[in-house]
């Protein structure tokens, strides 16, 4: 067994491409070796800005001999078929084997391939890997670049090291011949370095100021940047993405601390951090630990040099300070200029920006969002929210999109609007809502709960979802160009965090009414608004026939058949599609939280449940219940009852058959027989004890669970269901459902149907797995 080293050296590889390149190199190597029948052990892949390196441990010296079989035509097939098969396999007819295959004599080609030297396999694999490498962007170079068939690489490829054990693997591609020599650090050790093999590769490069292991460089940058900040009494602002990027930019990283003019601290700290990070790849620091009252941005940065400077880095820091100062001067200019214009004046420019060709301008969107936010506040859907503040915040929430600062740093949209609002003296609630209305933007992000922020944020996301769904621009497969899945997840998180008690159907319908203005008449608009109000009042939302008697003005509106078709053909499908979409997103979100998707289905299947707070409370109670012994056994009893009813194609009917022989007044005055006669009056016969137990249990459990559900005490509803476990078990153990007496059979099936209905009052147990 022998180790193999491959190094592909070139000009600087962009840091953002290096992780993908490492994965692609390993994938292509495994593919080539697998095709040759080489069994692979551990593979290590490293990257620096100037090289990709792969070490494959314990490769065999020779591949295993293989026997390849190819099925050919039947012996009775035309000669042309046989001739084609011979050309394909490169064999003659007398080299073929004839075997019986399903009663037909069939030709087979059996080719014995002896083992090959792995060194020869590698000599063919290396050029194949280079040619097949899937760089996101690549280039041709030199005289050969005239041809489109010339070698392509991310930057000009300059050297190949390929060593198996201590032997050179000879190969060539694009005029570059493999060898045993590489280059060290561009400045510290620019000459050739002879590599003995995989065993000394990393050590020899390290001596020549190249840390080839990217993880080692990341650890060094992370630790030394912290140390540099701590030595100055500061705390480094952690940024793992910046650690990885700097490791991809350097072969010999040396973190250095520098200072910039304190006057720049008048600029918002996020702007300084983004300027340093995006433009210069610098870390920033804070003035002490937050636990001790610090945590404010300091006038310090940490840059990562790629050299051991003879002056200890003073010249490097000075140069970087000048560059950062120029960048911060630009940022301060943007900050001062933007503040000279009120946000309301900035907002007027939004009419020049198209949100989407089918959905109007950003100004159009802002107007819709403002009306929705005001409605959410005025109707109390977002509790303790001032409608005037909600509308004001919504009208200004996109204004910073036209500012100079956001034009330079789009990542700061919303955040800068909040700063400009405070600088202008607007209420804090408005400034906070402008700043945070995009949140949460991903998993782990803060979920705002301030009332004005919640109203604006929900209105913004709801408008986006409804607009694209109304225009039939839904996400498909992995494609979601308008981030609608993220918007739905964000809404769900916000509704949960702020405990918003509202029907999703009513919210969606009202949002649709805002989009419908450009499509329908004022009368159609009135219908939509009225429909939204009905949904908000928990009245049927899927019926077009409204109560004309209570609102005579609707008679004229609804008499127009075209308007009814508009409602039925455009609005109702949009509501249904969006509610299904929210259900799917809710399953995704809750699955990550450890909630079973089938339990969400079980609650959704009840219908009419689109209050997410109430729905999730019911789901969580259901999950706790079905995980208990009572829940497991009750589920088994439910499924048994449901199977019996399904097999009997049960449909409850009014009344039930009697035998005709009953004497309803027999022993009617006997006090001991009163319960019996009460049961007989309902069933037409005296129930068996287990049957009576189930009836009594249902009599007690049904009102308890109904009352508990009405009070949103879902744990109490589950507890009421738990009382049915023993009676249903006893019923199945002691009672014959399919009795020969038709009256008993009917009544017992009806009792099972009643049991099923009692369970369905809490959740549709038919949707629960197990």
pTM of the model: 0.77
Confidence of residue 540 (pLDDT cuts 50, 70, 90): very low
Q: Confidence band (pLDDT; 50, 70, 90) for 565? A: low
Output the six-digit token pair for 189. 């050790």
pLDDT value, residue 558: 44
Over residues 694-705, the mean pLDDT reads 93
Task: Tell me whether residue 447 is exposed, middle or buried, using C-beta atoms within 10 angstroms of its C-beta: 0 to 12, 13 to 18, 19 or more.
Answer: middle
Average pLDDT of the chain is 87
pLDDT at 655: 41
- pLDDT grade for 532, boundaries at 50, 70 and 90: low
Measure the CA angle with vertex 340, ends 339 and 345; round to 5°: 95
* 130-155 mean pLDDT: 92
Asked if pLDDT for residue 552 goes beyond 80, the answer is: no
Share of the chain above pLDDT 90, in %: 66
**Residue 666: per-residue pLDDT:** 46
Strand partners, 97: 108
- Paired residues of 54 in beta bridges: 6, 45
How many Å apart are CA 450 and CA 443, to the nearest integer?
A: 19
Q: Which residue has the tokens 């965090």?
A: 497
Segment 105-119 mean pLDDT: 89
For 148, 470, 540, the CA distances from 237, given in Å and listed in that order, are: 47, 44, 54
C-beta of residue 117 within 8 angstroms of C-beta of residue 66? no
Looking at 60-209, which runs of residues are DSSP E strands?
Answer: 66-74, 97-101, 104-113, 157-164, 167-168, 172-173, 176-177, 181-183, 192-194
pLDDT tens, position by position, 422-470: 999 999 999 999 999 999 988 888 999 999 999 999 999 999 999 999 8
| pLDDT at residue 268 tops 60 | yes
651: left (phi over 0), alpha (psi -120 to 50) or beta: beta
pLDDT of residue 542: 44
In angstroms, what CA-CA distances link 121 with 24, 54, 167, 350? 19, 16, 14, 63
Query: Given a cut of 70, is residue 85 above it in pLDDT?
Result: yes
d(CA 585, CA 599): 14
pLDDT value at residue 502: 85
| CA terminus-to-terminus distance, the chain | 51
pLDDT tens column, 577-607: 888 899 889 888 888 888 888 998 888 888 7
Say which range, 86-95, 282-291, 540-549, 594-603, has the weakest mean pLDDT.
Answer: 540-549
Q: Do the beta carbons of residue 21 and residue 135 sit within 8 Å?
A: yes
pLDDT of 91 above 70: yes
Helix (H) or strand (E) holding 235: strand 235-236
pLDDT at 39: 87
Q: What tokens appear for 543 in the block?
A: 């019926």
pLDDT range class, residue 511, cuts 50, 70, 90 = confident
DSSP state of 5: E
- pLDDT category, 547, cuts 50, 70, 90? very low
Q: What value does the mean pLDDT take over residues 69-82?
A: 90
**Structure-model confidence comparison of residues 10 and 36, the more confident one:** 10
State yes or no: pLDDT of 549 exceeds 70: no
- pLDDT digits over 48-59, tens only? 999 999 999 999
> Which DSSP state fits 546?
-
pLDDT at 548: 38
Q: What pLDDT shows up at residue 46?
A: 98
- Residues 418 and 397: their CA atoms lie apart, in Å, by 9
Residue 502 · residue 375 · CB < 8 Å: no
Report the SS3 class of residue 497. Answer: helix
Residue 568: pLDDT band with limits 50, 70, 90: low
pLDDT at position 149: 85
Continuous segment of H or E residues that includes residue 242: helix 240-249
Summarize the confidence of residues 287-313 as an average pLDDT: 84
Cα 53 to Cα 6, 45, 230, 295, 471: the distances in Å are 6, 6, 35, 41, 51
């Amino acid at each position: 067994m022998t180790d193999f080293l491959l190094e592909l050296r070139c000009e600087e590889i962009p840091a953002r491409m290096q992780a993908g390149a490492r994965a692609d190199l390993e994938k292509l190597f495994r593919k080539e070796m697998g095709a040759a029948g080489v069994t692979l052990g551990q593979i290590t892949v490293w990257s620096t800005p100037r090289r990709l390196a792969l070490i494959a441990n314990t490769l065999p010296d020779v591949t295993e001999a293989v026997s390849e079989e190819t099925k050919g035509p039947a012996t009775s097939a035309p000669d042309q078929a046989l001739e084609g098969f011979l050309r394909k396999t490169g064999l003659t007819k007398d080299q073929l084997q004839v075997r019986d295959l399903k009663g037909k004599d069939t030709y087979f080609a059996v080719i014995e391939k002896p083992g090959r030297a792995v060194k020869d396999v590698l000599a063919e694999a290396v050029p194949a890997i280079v040619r097949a490498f899937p760089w996101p962007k690549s280039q041709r170079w030199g005289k050969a670049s005239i041809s489109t068939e010339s070698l392509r690489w991310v930057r000009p490829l300059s050297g190949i090291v390929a060593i198996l054990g201590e032997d050179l693997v000879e190969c060539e591609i694009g005029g570059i011949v493999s060898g045993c020599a590489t280059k060290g650090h561009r400045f510290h050790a620019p000459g050739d370095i002879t590599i003995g093999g995989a065993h000394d590769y990393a050590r020899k490069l390290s001596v020549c100021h190249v840390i080839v292991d990217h993880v080692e460089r990341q650890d060094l940058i992370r630790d030394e940047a912290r140390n540099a900040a701590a030595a100055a009494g500061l705390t480094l602002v952690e940024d793992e993405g910046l650690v990885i990027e700097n490791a991809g930019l350097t072969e010999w990283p040396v973190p250095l601390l520098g200072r910039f003019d304190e006057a720049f601290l008048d600029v918002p700290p996020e702007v300084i951090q983004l300027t340093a990070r995006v433009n210069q790849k610098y870390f920033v620091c804070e003035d002490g630990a937050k636990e001790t009252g610090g945590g404010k941005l300091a006038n310090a940065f940490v840059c990562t040099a790629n050299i051991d400077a003879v002056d200890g880095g003073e010249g490097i820091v000075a140069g970087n300070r000048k560059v950062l100062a120029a960048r911060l001067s630009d940022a301060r200019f943007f900050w001062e200029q933007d503040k000279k214009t009120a946000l309301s004046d900035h907002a007027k420019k939004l009419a020049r920006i198209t949100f989407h060709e089918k959905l109007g301008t950003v100004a159009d969107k802002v107007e819709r969002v403002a009306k929705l936010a005001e409605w959410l506040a005025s109707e109390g859907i977002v509790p303790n929210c001032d409608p005037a503040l909600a509308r004001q915040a919504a009208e200004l929430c996109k204004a910073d999109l036209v500012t100079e600062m956001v034009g330079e740093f789009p990542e700061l949209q919303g955040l800068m609007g909040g700063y400009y609002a405070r600088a202008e003296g607007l209420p804090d609630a408005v400034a906070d809502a402008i700043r945070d209305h995009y949140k949460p933007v991903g998993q782990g992000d803060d979920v705002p709960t301030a009332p004005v922020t919640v109203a604006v944020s929900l209105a913004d996301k709801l408008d986006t979802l409804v607009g694209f769904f109304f225009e039939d621009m839904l996400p498909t497969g992995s494609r979601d160009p308008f981030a609608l899945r993220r918007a739905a997840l964000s809404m769900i998180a916000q509704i949960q965090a702020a405990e918003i008690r509202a029907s999703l159907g009513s919210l969606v319908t009202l949002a649709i009414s805002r989009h419908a203005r450009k499509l329908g008449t004022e009368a159609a608009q009135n219908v939509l608004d009225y429909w939204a109000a009905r949904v908000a009042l928990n009245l049927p939302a899927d019926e077009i026939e409204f109560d004309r008697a209570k609102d005579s003005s609707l008679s004229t509106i609804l008499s127009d058949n075209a308007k009814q078709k508009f409602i039925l053909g455009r609005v109702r499908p949009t509501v249904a599609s969006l509610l299904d979409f929210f259900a799917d997103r809710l399953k995704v979100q809750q699955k990550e939280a450890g909630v079973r998707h089938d339990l969400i289905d079980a609650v959704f299947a009840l219908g009419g449940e689109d209050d997410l707070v109430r729905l999730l409370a019911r789901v969580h109670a259901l999950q706790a219940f079905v995980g208990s012994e009572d829940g497991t056994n009750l589920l088994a009893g439910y499924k048994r009852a449901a199977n019996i009813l399904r097999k009997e194609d049960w449909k409850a009917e009014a009344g039930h058959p009697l035998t005709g022989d009953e004497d309803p007044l027999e022993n009617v005055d006997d006090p001991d027989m009163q319960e019996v006669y009460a049961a007989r009056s309902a069933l037409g016969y005296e129930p068996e004890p287990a049957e009576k137990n189930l009836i009594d249990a249902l009599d007690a459990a049904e009102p308890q669970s109904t009352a508990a559900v009405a009070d949103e005490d879902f744990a109490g509803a589950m507890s009421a269901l738990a009382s049915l476990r023993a009676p249903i078990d006893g019923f199945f153990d002691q009672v014959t459902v399919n009795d020969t007496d038709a009256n008993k059979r009917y009544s017992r099936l009806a009792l099972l149907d009643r049991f099923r209905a009692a369970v369905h009052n809490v959740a549709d147990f038919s949707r629960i797995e197990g």
